[in-house]
Amino acid sequence: MYIAEIEHKPASILVDLAPHDAAPNKLLPYLVICGPKYDKPSNGLPNPEQIAELEKKLDAADQMLTGVTAKKLMGTFTYNGERLNYYYVKDTTDIAKALGRLYKRRFPDAAYVCKIKYDPDWTTYNQFLYPNEKDIDWMENNSRIVYLLGQGDSLKRPRDISFICLFEKESDRSKFIAFAKEKHYEITETKYMQRADYHYEVKISTFSAVLPEVIQQTSAEIKTETKKYKAQYLGWMCSVISDK
């Protein structure tokens, strides 16, 4: 899941990343977007109590669709008073009518959305639901931060934060090291690895509290530089400093 901003309003996007490399599935050419509406809190996103009720409606619609057509749930988009599931399906016959009957029978007071369109290339999934590079960076960084918090780390105490990169050529690694030194990173390790490619590893570090905004900015800076050499950025690590 990641949070995006659309027209200065927050949006929550829960997306299945796994199908991306194999998309589209030509057997599921239709897109169905459906889900309940909700009364918007001040921040635009539903509170926990609302989410529980919204998920009940989404689950009921999901079960209904299972009995109607082959489908693949690609993600859930929550924004501006709507919590919507995005499905690619084989057949759209009677979906709108079946959804209408479901809401009339089980949720007669609820407003809902139902949109259907032909999208054989899965354009909506690839260009809307699937996160862009900045969002992916945020997701990767946030998963590590959540782990640290789960270990009782407040993130406030400074420590060495290491970033690891792999290069195909030693000359490219040398250029990257020069960049890192100019940016005042410490070069903590370089080594050669016996493998098919990307033999040359470098580990650089900075001393800082694990502030999310610092991690995001630093990782983006390093990833941008590694792209110049078609290198692999493997992410960051640091020790856990528990405050328990």
Q: Are residues 53 and 150 in the same domain?
A: no
Q: Residue 45's pLDDT is what? A: 87
Reported confidence tier of residue 47, pLDDT bands at 50, 70, 90: confident
Asked if residue 106 and residue 25 are part of one domain, the reply reads: yes
In this predicted structure, the answer to whether residue 209 has a pLDDT above a threshold of 80 is yes
Range 156-181 average pLDDT: 96
pTM over 0.85: no
* Mean pLDDT value of segment 109-127: 97
- Residue that is last in its domain, among 92, 108, 129: 129
What per-residue confidence (pLDDT) applies to 44? 75
Token pair, residue 32, equals 């169905």
pLDDT of 244: 63
- In terms of domains, do 140 and 94 share one? no
CA atoms of 125 and 131, how far apart (whole Å):
9
Q: Which domain holds residue 45?
A: 2-129
My answer on whether 146 and 42 are in the same domain is: no
Listed residues 129, 157, 189: the one ending a domain? 129
The total of structural domains in the chain comes to 2
* Mean pLDDT, range 194-200, rounded to an integer: 91
The answer as to whether 244 is a domain residue is no
Give the pLDDT score at 111: 96
Residue that terminates a domain, selected from 129, 145, 176? 129
Give, rounded to a whole angstrom, the gap between the first and last alpha carbons of the chain. 28
How does residue 118 score in pLDDT terms, banded at 50, 70 and 90?
A: very high
Q: What is the pLDDT of residues 144-163, one digit of tens each?
A: 998 999 999 999 999 999 99
